[in-house]
């Protein structure tokens, strides 16, 4: 499919800012929603709106089926071995917090340690800080090399008999490197260490197969891959979920309730207390279908590859510009560029480029420890999606050069 055709699925792309066509390059923060996602959410809110799992009437049954069919689809999409392994959440942040609480509760004792890479988003760091503080456990840092890759030799040294968990991003939201997750999982498992993969960025750029990855836990957000906000997934191996205690108590997560105590519902409902986001969660299905199509489409793939190569080369041509993970081979990176310009503040660049119609992220990108490692306080990030065109990439480069000329 031609990119021009694919863009038609995304009405949000077709607008102007400051009298110029919007060039949306903040896809790593959130993607635009597809037409099907928008119309499904609208239909579910307008017509098929009834609380799920609770009632016997037709409308409630219909709404429940939308929700549960989505779970089946996500199970297939991730190649999980059982639908019980798919817990719906509001997004990656919730998934990881839930895991830190529920898994932390049963698996982490005083004196244990958890390894987290220094390239993690705050969502995959702060919940582990909470847990370590609560339990008297130690938080260990998996360092990155100057290239931005994980230091896998250091990982071997860091793991010991008290290491219970390793938490790493499949792809960092700053570096854009596709990490060798299967190799990392194998290393961790050989030492008896469980692995959480933060797939918030990784799920967007490659088909996920949790059994092949063999990770114990995998988290992602719907809003980064064309679905509605407030949708997300925690995948976990069934035997682990079975051992874990619920994070939130409330309606629908119980089996029986007595005044003094309760027993819990089967998986995955034990982890889905209260009224879920049933108008939005079903949008995961059309979103993942569209994502899958785009990942398999030759034209869309070669367009995105060409953009990645072009932007990479153009940035390298200008001595004033550096970008994170520049030395890592291009086929191990996603089309995401975290840019530093000598003597120019990232925020000034972002403001100026916004006036030219280019939407970019600037700041610490929710990864302050990584900013420290890169020796900067903030960064300018351009992240591309399959609906971005080469013309937009060229305009981005030209606006960046013009902005640097003005600010330098």
Q: Which residues are catalytic?
A: 366
Binding segment for ligand PLP (CB under 6 A), chosen from 63-71, 90-98, 145-153, 299-307, is 90-98
CB of 257 to ligand PLP, least distance (A): 30
Binders of ligand PLP among residues 23 to 52 (CB under 6 A) are 29
| Residue from the set 75, 121, 194, 346 that interacts with ligand PLP by CB under 6 A | 121
Q: Which of 166, 174, 222 is nearest to 196 (CA)?
A: 166
Place of tokens 């392994």: 85
| Residue from the set 34, 113, 163, 173 that interacts with ligand PLP by CB under 6 A | 173
Distance set, CA 33 to CA 56, 226, 230 (Å): 32, 5, 13
- Applying CB under 6 A, does 123 fall inside the site for ligand PLP? yes
Give the E-state strand segments of 214-351 in sequence order. Answer: 217-221, 232-236, 254-257, 262-264, 321-323, 336-341
Give DSSP secondary structure letters for 170-213.
SB-TTT-BB--HHHHHHHHHHTT-EEEEE-TTHHHHS---HHHH
Q: Which of 398, 258, 246 is nearest to 314 (CA)?
A: 398
Give DSSP secondary structure letters for 369-407.
HHHHHHT-S-EEEEE--TT--HHHHHHHHHHHHHHHHHH
Give the residue with the Cβ less far from ligand PLP, 34 or 173. Answer: 173
| Residue from the set 32, 93, 228, 279 that interacts with ligand PLP by CB under 6 A | 93
- Applying CB under 6 A, does 124 fall inside the site for ligand PLP? yes
Give the residue with the Cβ less far from ligand PLP, 77 or 94. Answer: 94
Give the residue with the Cβ less far from ligand PLP, 28 or 352. Answer: 28
CB of 169 to ligand PLP, least distance (A): 5
Place of tokens 């403001």: 351
- Applying CB under 6 A, does 362 fall inside the site for ligand PLP? no
Helix axes 298-317, 390-407, angle to 10 degrees: 20
- Applying CB under 6 A, does 169 fall inside the site for ligand PLP? yes
Give the residue with the Cβ less far from ligand PLP, 158 or 227. Answer: 227
Binders of ligand PLP among residues 254 to 313 (CB under 6 A) are none
Q: Determine how many CB atoms are found less than 10 A away from the CB of residue 211.
A: 11
- Applying CB under 6 A, does 333 fall inside the site for ligand PLP? no
Binding segment for ligand PLP (CB under 6 A), chosen from 61-69, 87-95, 101-109, 329-337, is 87-95
- Applying CB under 6 A, does 198 fall inside the site for ligand PLP? yes
DSSP-derived secondary structure letter, 51:
-
| Residue from the set 31, 32, 92, 113 that interacts with ligand PLP by CB under 6 A | 92
- Applying CB under 6 A, does 360 fall inside the site for ligand PLP? no
DSSP-derived secondary structure letter, 120:
-
Contacts of 52-58 with C-beta under 8 Å, sequence gap 24+, read 52/276, 52/278, 53/252, 53/269, 54/251, 54/252
Task: Give the interface with ligand PLP as residue ranges (CB under 6 A).
Answer: 29, 91-93, 121, 123-124, 169, 173, 198, 200-201, 221
């Amino acid at each position: 499919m031609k990119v021009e055709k694919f863009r038609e699925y995304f009405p949000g792309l077709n607008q102007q800012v400051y009298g110029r066509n919007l060039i949306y390059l903040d896809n790593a923060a959130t993607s635009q929603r597809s037409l099907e996602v928008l119309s499904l959410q609208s239909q579910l809110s307008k017509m098929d709106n009834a609380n799920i799992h609770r009632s016997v009437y037709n409308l409630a049954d219909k709404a429940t089926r939308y929700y549960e069919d989505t779970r089946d689809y996500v199970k297939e999409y991730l190649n999980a071995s059982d639908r019980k392994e798919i817990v719906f959440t509001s997004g990656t942040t919730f998934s990881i917090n839930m895991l830190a609480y529920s898994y932390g509760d049963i698996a982490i004792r005083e004196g244990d340690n958890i390894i987290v890479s220094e390239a993690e988003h705050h969502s995959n760091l702060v919940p582990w800080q909470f847990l370590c503080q609560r339990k008297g456990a130690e938080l260990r840092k998996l360092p990155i090399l100057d290239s931005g890759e994980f230091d896998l030799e250091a990982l071997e040294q860091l793991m010991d008999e008290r290491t219970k968990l390793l938490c790493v991003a499949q792809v960092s939201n700053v570096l854009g490197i596709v990490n060798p997750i299967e190799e990392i999982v194998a290393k961790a498992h050989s030492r008896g260490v469980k692995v959480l993969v933060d797939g918030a960025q990784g799920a967007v750029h490659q088909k996920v197969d949790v059994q092949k990855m063999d990770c114990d836990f995998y988290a992602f957000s719907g809003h980064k891959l064309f679905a509605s906000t407030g949708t997300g997934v925690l995948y976990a191996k069934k035997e682990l979920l079975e051992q874990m205690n619920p994070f939130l108590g409330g309606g629908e997560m119980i089996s029986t309730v007595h005044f003094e105590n309760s027993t819990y519902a089967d998986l995955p409902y034990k982890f889905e207390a209260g009224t879920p986001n049933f108008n939005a969660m079903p949008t995961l299905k059309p979103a993942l279908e569209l994502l899958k199509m785009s990942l398999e489409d030759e034209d869309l793939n070669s367009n995105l590859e060409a953009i990645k190569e072009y932007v990479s080369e153009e940035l390298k041509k200008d001595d004033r510009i550096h970008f994170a993970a520049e030395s890592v081979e291009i086929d191990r990176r996603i089309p995401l560029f975290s840019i530093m310009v000598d003597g120019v503040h990232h925020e000034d660049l972002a403001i100026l480029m916004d006036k030219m119609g280019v939407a970019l992220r600037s700041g610490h990108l929710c990864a302050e420890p990584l900013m420290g490692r890169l020796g900067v306080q903030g960064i300018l990030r351009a992240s591309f999606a399959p609906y971005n065109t080469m013309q937009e990439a060229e305009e981005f480069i030209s606006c960046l050069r013009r902005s640097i000329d003005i600010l330098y």
